[in-house]
């Protein structure tokens, strides 16, 4: 039992090396205020530092849509990843999917905004096949990686 606890503690520690949790009141005011302005409806907010950026995980809406957002020290939103449904995909992406991947099941759709650039990532599955695919807003496939 002790060993397990120890192992869990070690895991937790190693986890903190790459991404360190920070408390709300340790957060720079600029980041905090910017976040609050951008996502006024956020709930279940958890902050950590990651690669010199402040990463926040939170949920919105009634069904708890997952969000991941990265801010720089001045409070500028650098990147935002949002879990969306298939119906929320732009029409261009949807038609592309119907054409190129009919018969595949679509899973884990994320909308990722970096500055003005928006990409959509998702997992496509059929039998033993499994792909990780990324599109831009116009429906161009950016990458296709076997999973």
Partner 1 sequence: MKLLNQSLKYLSVSLLFVVSLWAFVFYFNILNEIKESMDEGLENYKRQILYKVQADTSILHQNNFEEGFFAIQPVARAAALSAKDRYTDTMLYMQDADDETPELEPVRMLSTVFEHQDRYYRLDIINSMVEEDDLVKELFREALWLYLVLVAGLILINRYVLQRLWRPFYSLLDQLKGFRLGSNQALPVVATDTKEFSDLQQAVRALLQHSTETYEQQKEFIGNAAHELQTPLAVATNKLELMLEKGNFEAAQAEGIGSVMQIIERMVRLNKSLLLLTRIESKQFLNEELVPVHLLVRQSVSDLEEMAAFRQVSMTLSASATLFATMDNALATIIVSNLVRNALFHNIPSGTVQISISGHTLTIRNSGHHEALDREKIFSRFYKPGARQSGTGLGLAIVKAICELYGFSVSYDFAGGLHCFVVDFQTHR
Of residues 121, 42, 122, the one with CA closest to residue 77: 42
Sites for partner 1 among residues 45-84 (CB under 8 A): 73-75
Scan residues 107-126 and list those touching partner 1 (CB under 8 A).
none
Closer residue to partner 1 (CB): 40 or 51: 40
- Span near partner 1 by CB under 8 A; candidates 18-26, 43-51, 53-61, 102-110: 18-26
34 is a site residue for partner 1 (CB under 8 A): yes
CA distance 94 to 11: 40
DSSP codes, 53-82:
EEEEEEEETTTTEEEEEEE-TTS-EEEEEE
The verdict on 27 binding partner 1 (CB under 8 A) reads: yes
Q: Which of 76, 147, 84 is nearest to 110 (CA)?
A: 84
Q: Which residues bind partner 1 (CB under 8 A)?
A: 24-30, 32-34, 36-37, 40, 73-75
């Amino acid at each position: 039992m002790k060993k397990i606890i120890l192992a869990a503690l070690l895991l937790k520690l190693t986890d903190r090396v790459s991404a360190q949790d920070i408390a709300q009141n340790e957060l720079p005011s600029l980041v905090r205020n910017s976040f609050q302005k951008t996502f006024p409806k956020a709930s279940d907010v958890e902050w950590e530092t990651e690669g010199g950026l402040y990463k926040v995980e939170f949920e919105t809406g009634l069904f708890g849509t997952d969000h991941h957002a990265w801010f720089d020290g001045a409070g500028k939103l650098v990147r935002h990843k949002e879990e969306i449904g298939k119906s929320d995909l732009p029409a261009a992406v949807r038609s592309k999917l119907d054409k190129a991947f009919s018969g595949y099941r679509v899973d884990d759709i994320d909308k990722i905004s970096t500055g003005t650039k928006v990409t959509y990532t998702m997992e496509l599955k059929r039998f033993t096949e499994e792909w990780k695919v990324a599109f831009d807003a116009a429906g161009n496939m950016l990458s296709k990686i076997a999973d």
